[in-house]
Amino acid sequence: MHDVRVVCVYTERQVVHTLPEGGPVAGVTSLADEVYVLRQRDRQLRWTVRNQVEVYDVIDYRLQRRLTVPNSNALIDMTSCEHYMCVYLVDCCGDECIHRLDVEGAATRWAVNDKPRGISVNAEHNVLVLCNRVRKIKEFSSHGDLLRELTLPDDVIHPWHAIQTHNGEFIVCHGFFSNDINHRVCKISADGDIIKSHGEEPGSDIGQYHLPSHLAVDNNESVFVADLFNRRVTLLSPTLDYIRQVVSGDGLKGGPDNLCLDIHRRCLYVVDNEYKGLECTAGRVVVFSV
């Protein structure tokens, strides 16, 4: 079977749908004909504790069901795998593990043995877990077997999310505090060397970021970057050259924390969380056509 790729030309898009507002959203992903929305557990119990994952129909965005993640603590990111028909969730507290939920509701989990942050699935259907404190990307099988570890360069400070391209390279976004030297997106070789980067010191100009928090890559390997505190989503070429802004603050109440690109339906799901200082107070998912 030939690898057929769709080449898309992206411009700044308008909102086509907004999922219901509620507690802060920690992640969004699509699987088959459904959209999965991960709500964070609230410590004061103002929002739902048991039902943390909301599942919506991808056509009319009606709520289909809510899923409970057994023995979970602090879920902070999620992704999905069409090959294994399952969803993976990052739990950064307690056992520091990855939860695996299949479409029939069966749940398993495995330990990461380092504090996890971001998660993605590569072309081999393996799970990539970014461990930001130790600056490592860990690759696991779908059932939690550790396959390899990659240590990131020393100047990749506070990494948030990593995606592997078809040729084995990695795209990583990093930078958190205002005094972090770099807030940028890097292309990193399979051996852990920086090939190219986009962005340097934090800022709001074109070519700068202020907490690049999440990535999405299309099947042409163009890169979408959620730029949280600049309240925008930026599009980069496969070589990390700036192309344009595809989502601005005009379409958001807060800032984009998380992304999911459904290339088949030409939809970009953007997690839009509102903040008071560094505290996230409410969230929703905004759907843009691309």
Q: Where are the domains of the chain?
A: 15-289
Convert the pLDDT of each residue in 166-223 to its tens digit: 999 999 999 999 889 999 999 999 999 999 999 999 999 999 999 999 999 999 999 9
Percentage above 70 pLDDT, the chain: 92
Please answer whether residues 281 and 24 qualify as being in contact, where contact means their C-beta atoms are separated by less than 8 angstroms: yes
The beta-strand segments (E) located in 19-122 are 25-31, 34-39, 51-57, 63-68, 75-81, 86-91, 97-102, 107-111, 118-121
Q: For the domain 15-289, what is the CATH superfamily, name and number?
A: TolB, C-terminal domain (2.120.10.30)
| 120-137: average pLDDT | 97
User: Model-level pTM?
Assistant: 0.92
Alpha helices (runs of H) in 172-211, residue ranges in sequence order: none
Whether residue 1 is predicted with pLDDT greater than 60 in this model: the reply is no
Whether residue 283 is predicted with pLDDT greater than 60 in this model: the reply is yes
| 244-258: average pLDDT | 93
164, amino acid identity: Q
pLDDT at 41: 62
pLDDT at 48: 43
pLDDT at 42: 56
Q: How far is Cα 97 from Cα 165, in angstroms, rounded to an integer?
A: 24
